[in-house]
Amino acid sequence: MKALTQTNFKFKNQTGFYKGKVRDVYFIGDDILVMVVSDRISAFDVVLPKGIPFKGQVLNQIASKFLDATADIVPNWKIANPDPMVTLGVNCQSFPVEMIVRAYLTGSSWREYKNGAREICGVKIPEGMREHQAFEKPILTPTTKAEQGAHDENISRDKIISSGLVSASDYLQLEDYSLKLFKRGQEIADKMGLILVDTKYEFGKKDGKIYLIDEIHTPDSSRYFYKDTYQERFDKGENQRQLSKEFVREWLMDNGFQGKPGQQIPEMTDEIVNSVSDRYIELFEKITGEKFQKAKSENIENRIFENVSNYLGKL
């Protein structure tokens, strides 16, 4: 199985290029961007050395489905999907914060809580909580958007507004959109026998209008628990069955890697790579209720270039 880890396209009217941890973004003129979701995988803000076959397709198609399913809540950047690994959309000026919504004390929030933190991003967390316990209501714990290789930093609403990162009126709108999107995501997950535990949203602005941008409710940006076993496992203090990228982080931590200076990334065997690919496909099928159709992977770069070029030629 082949994985797409690098791209170097030259599209007609291309004016710029940006390489993110996972996504390669091509700017077409001033108003359109082409986002190629590669098979790269990152954890602890580090891009791992091997790509995961079909991961890009999974992320792109889940995000596309949820963009369509939430378009009544907030305008989004998507125009079309000319290829299974590509979204073509509106080029917005992105806000320099990511909106993290959490409904449960788990992952990084649990790690901070276990180390004594009782406040995250200005939000107070009650004493006596346990790992994977639900909050009384979902909380917002935003982070700054770091450049590649740097770590995102937790930041409070007050600091975001007082530092001028986002205006007060825009930030309150981002909060409102984020909580409404999360509620919709929870409702969709519930119908599929899942619990949407936490997620992140990114927003941008164009011509004075706020848009939802990038991915939404994918395993890279979200965490899901299985609903049918949640309560029993919580009561017993057992780890939750979950569909997210957390299993990759746990594998890395078990092998002595947390992205800290001097730490070596453990070897990613073919067995590990294929198991991660299978987990991504499992999430796609579980959250969408659809059978995953693997795109042809013989000449991924050629396929993408032809599909995108053909679509751009019609604009």
Tell me, what's the pLDDT at 119? 96
Q: Give the mean pLDDT of the chain.
A: 94
Q: In the predicted model, what is the mean pLDDT of residues 188-202?
A: 96
Instruction: Determine phi and psi for 309, rounding to 5 degrees.
Output: -60, -40
Q: Which of 40-49, 97-106, 168-177 has the lowest mean pLDDT?
A: 40-49
Predicted local confidence at residue 45, as pLDDT: 83
Q: Domain 95-244 sits in which CATH superfamily?
A: ATP-grasp fold, B domain (3.30.470.20)
Percentage of the chain surpassing pLDDT 90?
88
Taking only the tens place, the pLDDT of each residue in 227-280 is: 999 999 999 999 999 887 878 888 999 999 999 999 999 999 999 999 999 988
pLDDT over threshold 90, residue 148: no
**Tens digit of each residue's pLDDT (9 = 90 or more) over 300-315:** 999 999 999 999 999 8
Task: Give the model's pLDDT for residue 206.
Answer: 97
Check residue 150 and give its pLDDT: 55
pTM of the model as a whole? 0.90
The full set of domain ranges for the chain reads 95-244
**pLDDT value, residue 245:** 80
